[in-house]
């Protein structure tokens, strides 16, 4: 005499869960929008810290003096000199007008996140991000001062966003 064992499996639940998982991984726009907001905030913090995790190179002396106007320190004494020195001490790197810092945007389309400066600041930002020659005749060397830097803590937040997104899709 033989014993027959029949195994039946009900894969309905697994199939439903895999279908939800498939939908979750096809559409990343929602978590990417949230991550875009995180990155724009992080880029703003990069400007405020004047470089993270590595500080940007200081401004050249010529740049500092041009912000005050040529020759404004010559012949100054006492209060006038102290006032000029105070203005120089408050000069922020890459933030003369605030245009570059304030032009950071995040755009999401077709599961793609693009983050960075928009408008005229995009061209201006490129030379500061990567460094290079600029000015009349490309005689001025501008050092790289990378502001579009994803920090380690940003990546942790991205992982958490993606995990939450997948879990919500599976749970319904």
Q: What is the value of pTM for the model shown?
A: 0.75
Q: What string of pLDDT tens digits covers the 172 residues of the chain?
A: 444 444 455 656 666 666 666 665 667 788 889 999 999 999 999 999 999 999 999 988 778 777 776 555 555 556 666 676 677 777 889 988 899 999 999 999 888 889 999 988 988 899 999 999 998 899 989 999 999 999 999 999 988 988 888 788 777 6
Q: State how far the Cα of 132 lies from the Cα of 126, in Å rounded to an integer.
A: 9
Phi, psi dihedrals of residue 56, rounded to the nearest 5°: -70, 155
Classify 93 as helix, strand or coil: coil
Cβ–Cβ < 8 Å for 6, 141: no
Instruction: Give the orientation angle of helix 29-49 with respect to helix 152-171, to 10 degrees.
Output: 160
Phi, psi dihedrals of residue 119, rounded to the nearest 5°: 65, -150
């Amino acid at each position: 005499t033989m014993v027959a064992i029949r195994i039946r499996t009900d894969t309905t639940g697994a199939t439903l869960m895999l279908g939800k998982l498939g939908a979750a991984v096809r559409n990343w726009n929602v978590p990417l929008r949230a991550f875009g907001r995180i990155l724009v905030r992080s880029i703003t913090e990069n400007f405020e810290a004047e470089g993270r995790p590595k500080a940007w190179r200081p401004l050249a002396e010529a740049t500092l003096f041009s912000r005050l106007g040529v020759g404004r320190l010559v012949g100054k004494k006492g209060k006038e000199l102290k006032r000029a020195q105070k203005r120089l001490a408050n000069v922020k790197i890459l933030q003369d007008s605030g245009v570059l810092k304030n032009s950071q945007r995040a755009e999401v389309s077709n599961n793609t996140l693009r983050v960075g400066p928009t408008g005229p600041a995009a061209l201006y930002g490129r030379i500061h991000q990567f460094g290079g020659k600029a000015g009349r005749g490309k005689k001025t060397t501008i050092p790289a001062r990378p502001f579009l830097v994803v920090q380690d803590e940003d990546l942790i937040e991205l992982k958490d966003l993606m995990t939450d997104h997948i879990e919500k899709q599976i749970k319904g």
